Structure 1
């Protein structure tokens, strides 16, 4: 599991622990804010869509489908908020942390572009690629939506597949620090995700699960980024020349 691998690595290289402080504080604030409002919004939507016991069967099916859709939308909104807000605010610090990890793993110096102005160009490029990623996720959600109209198994399958998509793209987000330093395009990132599907999925699932654990959740994001960086270079170093 990526966060656990990251913890072991960081305790072997204790000098890196200081780079966790600012991302930890930023993630605490950002995710506490979005978690509160997303949960409040979701509960309101579910309450309004719960079917009337006297309603017709068709109406009850439609209402339950809307509940499933609202759940999927909250998952999507969480990922979008993380991608845009979290990446803009915490990018320089998480990028510096993963850069130091990269230097240790590869034994080579990675040129530091600076915390803010030096990273501005990378942030802009990253946001452009991020829009492509979000558009792709929306397209997949649109393709899966007809399943949500099938009562019972179809709705369960819809929620499962949507959660799977969110986990993959959340995991891919943590690998993006190393990829962005190498100017990976969206197509190249998707190619990596296809080749290392289980690894990317594992990072996403473990990070999402730990986000649900009180107190632990505030340190998950930088740890997942470190774990994904280690996995990325394990793959890169193992590739045949």
Structure 2
């Protein structure tokens, strides 16, 4: 099966969060098998309008959660939030995070996740609108750092990321895209910190800012914002 590793990672996220944690993948405690949920999410992440927000992005975020899990209060819930955070994605809409959170709120109770854990997953998904977790929000810091880690890629990988984002917004005219993208980059550069976990601050902050400044210069010219 081509997606078997991702299905295994879905089980790694879901099974510890269920109210029958410890049961195997066959359902348990009257719940349906988790595997159709994985198949549905994988299908969503494979939709043709996605150029950056693809299965590769999902896998990368899950990989980064693995790196950062020591900082999370509940790594399984962060992993579930990673699965759902862009599960609904249409580039022309601004409600993707909200719709993705609502998808989690519908699917996870049926899959056997208790209400308080469902609420935490949905909260984390909604947090990716701002990527601004509170200082005491360990789960939020891990998810946001994992999602933003692409910004700290080597230059070639960062260029491929930026090109994929542009392709997703192919319906936007060049001038409007440059203006909007520049505003996003400027906002990120004015934040006191892009990353909140110790690992993110140590390993990713400087490289991410270099990449953001380089892209902003390419979009707008050599004048860079004050930070």
Superposed pair shares fold, TM > 0.5: no
Computing the radius of gyration from Cα coordinates, the structure with the larger value is 1
Specify which structure has the bigger relative contact order, considering alpha-carbon pairs within 8 angstroms and separated by 6 or more residues.
Answer: 1
